[in-house]
């Protein structure tokens, strides 16, 4: 049963690559290739976050926030009786991590635009930060470490559900299909996804990088 559209799968794996590049370059001397890598990876993450939020409003049923973000009662019910193999898309508990990661990555990418190391590297909009530059830089560095920890935890959880609980989460994000689900979610057109992405990417890219 198809549960993830091609747009969500491309978003996910593009985000993985961009995040790895941003995290790796963050620990290098930021001049030359590593400065460019960090900047372009950060802007790419920002574009992906904005697109994902919009896709969560108008995209495929399994990608919409209204279909998987639930309240405390649903989360507790899932913890007591839930079976992730039968969840089409994110389960109520996983939805919390999805929303948290989206918001944290969005905040991290925005703060990175204004950050500076006062030596080799400054974000594209650092000149607009004024007296806030130091604070934003410090928060950017601290949140970066938090995100690396959360990403590591996310990988471990996926491996647990894949190898121990046999939920097929990793396979689903590659193929878009899942062997068991209660109901097949409605898929939105990939052309709609492209129609959302192009103006978002073009606007942010040129507004930030010129």
CATH number for the domain whose boundaries are 6-209: 1.20.950
Give the mean pLDDT of 147-157: 93
pLDDT band per the 50, 70, 90 thresholds, residue 85? very low
Judged against a pLDDT cut of 60, whether residue 86 lies above it is answered with no
Looking at per-residue pLDDT, the higher value among 3 and 84 belongs to: 3
Contact 61, 67 (CB under 8 A): yes
Judged against a pLDDT cut of 80, whether residue 139 lies above it is answered with yes
Contact 123, 113 (CB under 8 A): yes
Judged against a pLDDT cut of 90, whether residue 130 lies above it is answered with no
Tens digit of each residue's pLDDT (9 = 90 or more) over 19-78: 999 999 999 987 789 999 999 999 999 999 999 999 999 999 989 998 888 777 777 776
Judged against a pLDDT cut of 90, whether residue 197 lies above it is answered with yes
> Residue 165: what pLDDT?
81
Q: Where are the domains of the chain?
A: 6-209
Tens digit of each residue's pLDDT (9 = 90 or more) over 165-191: 887 788 889 999 887 666 788 999 999
Give the whole-angstrom CA distance, residue 59 versus residue 46.
18
Closest CA to 16 of 121, 154, 112, 108: 154
SS3 of the chain: CECCCHHHHHHHHHHHHHHHHHHHHHCCCCCCHHHHHHHHHHHHHHHHHHHHHHHHHHCCHHHCHHHHCCCHHHHHHHHHHCCHHHCCCCCHHHHHHHHHHHHHHHHHHHHHHHCECCCCCECCCHHHCHHHHHHHHHHHHHHHHHHHHHHHHHHHHHHHHHHHCCCCHHHHHHHCECCCCCCCCCCCCHHHHHHHHHHHHHHHHHHHHC
This prediction's pTM: 0.90
As a whole number, the mean pLDDT across the chain is 88
HSE value, Cβ hemisphere, 13 Å, CA-based, for 137 = 18
Give the mean pLDDT of 114-128: 84
Quote the crossing angle between the two packed helices 92-114 and 72-81, to the nearest 10°.
120
> Residue 174: what pLDDT?
92
Judged against a pLDDT cut of 70, whether residue 155 lies above it is answered with yes
Judged against a pLDDT cut of 90, whether residue 110 lies above it is answered with yes
């Amino acid at each position: 049963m198809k549960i993830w559209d091609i747009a969500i799968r491309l978003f996910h794996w593009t985000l993985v690559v961009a995040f790895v590049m941003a995290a790796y370059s963050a620990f290098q001397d930021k001049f030359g290739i590593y400065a460019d890598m960090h900047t372009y990876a950060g802007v790419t993450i920002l574009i992906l976050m904005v697109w994902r939020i919009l896709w969560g409003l108008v995209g495929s049923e399994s990608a919409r926030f209204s279909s998987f973000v639930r309240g405390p009662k649903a989360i507790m019910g899932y913890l007591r009786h839930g079976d992730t193999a039968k969840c089409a898309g994110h389960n109520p508990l996983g939805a919390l991590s999805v929303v948290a990661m989206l918001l944290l990555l969005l905040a991290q990418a925005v703060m990175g635009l204004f950050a500076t190391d006062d030596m080799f590297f400054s974000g594209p909009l650092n000149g607009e930060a004024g007296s806030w530059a130091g604070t934003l830089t410090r928060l950017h560095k601290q949140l970066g470490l938090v995100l690396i920890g959360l990403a590591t935890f996310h990988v471990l959880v996926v491996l647990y559900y894949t190898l121990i609980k046999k939920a097929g989460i990793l396979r689903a994000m590659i193929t878009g299909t899942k062997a068991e689900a209660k109901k097949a979610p409605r898929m939105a057109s990939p052309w709609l996804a492209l129609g959302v992405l192009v103006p978002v990417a073009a606007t942010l890219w040129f507004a930030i990088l010129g």
